[in-house]
Structure 1
């Protein structure tokens, strides 16, 4: 049975646009999943990348076109200039870690709830009330918002170090059995083929 480590950022538009396709692939192949929220802005400088605000205008223009196309392709509405896209991802990531430990909901839906709150609904996922709404949307106890922060912070820091050590440099990023790497929501089909033994 294959195991997938899923490194993602709660504020990443490409994580949002992945939808739940990766979860569907994992289920189809009987693969286990480990969700690893990371601070992607901390990953970039340690792996040779630049945050969007520091990229060349040509790259930024292409990024906007790609986001618009992917939104239409996958039927996931997106605001290309949301007011809270640069919000602190730590509170939502801590809440995700707490939800994973508590159980009772759908982690794939929780990833989507956070992404949709930022990129579709123009909401601030650093606010406890918004985090609580996302938790509830995914079937978790909304009371987890603001709880277990120390434990979440420790795991979040470990996730960053593990991501850099594993060769993660963007989000979403999928690693199968610790070796085979797939970067980006546009590689989910390749992940599917790999798990099927065709790649």
Structure 2
């Protein structure tokens, strides 16, 4: 589904309304918050904390709007303490979730890294997701293309991808079908909202050699 509209496809899963934009999105495209016992706003990325959920579209702009215009206070109908570092904190937490999921995928044999291995997987059409470090060489990244009907993730840094593979840095990686791959795509899409501006989308896609096929 494209951001900004309501997807009527039931397969997209449960939907919630963003308190900042007023738009309805699948839960996978939003971030849930709850108010803690001491009135502190707590991000619930795993959607497991008790309490009434407050939902915001997973973009930097939507979250900043919710903070600036006191949407959290109105949604909670009570005084709420919001951390000044909430945006950066959520970005870091989302990045960590993506890294951990890729790491688990590596341990299960679904994730691979290294230019030659990724190139081989792409040529054999066994790769469903192409991952490339945001700070990697544009020239090197342009030699690999997003899998047909697959996904591209290009907003993790080389050291973050490295953490997922137990190395110092990784520039090229890929995920096969099944396992945790869809979860990686969903979580990475939320992270994208905090790292990639709309105007940067074509630039990021160009680095991959094809237009990004967003989930």
Above 0.5 in TM-score?
no
Which structure features the higher share of helix residues?
Answer: 1
User: Which is higher, the Rg of structure 1 or of structure 2?
Assistant: 2
The TM-score with structure 1 as length reference comes to: 0.26
Which structure features the higher share of strand residues?
Answer: 2
Name the structure, 1 or 2, with higher relative contact order (CA <8 Å, separation 6+).
Answer: 1
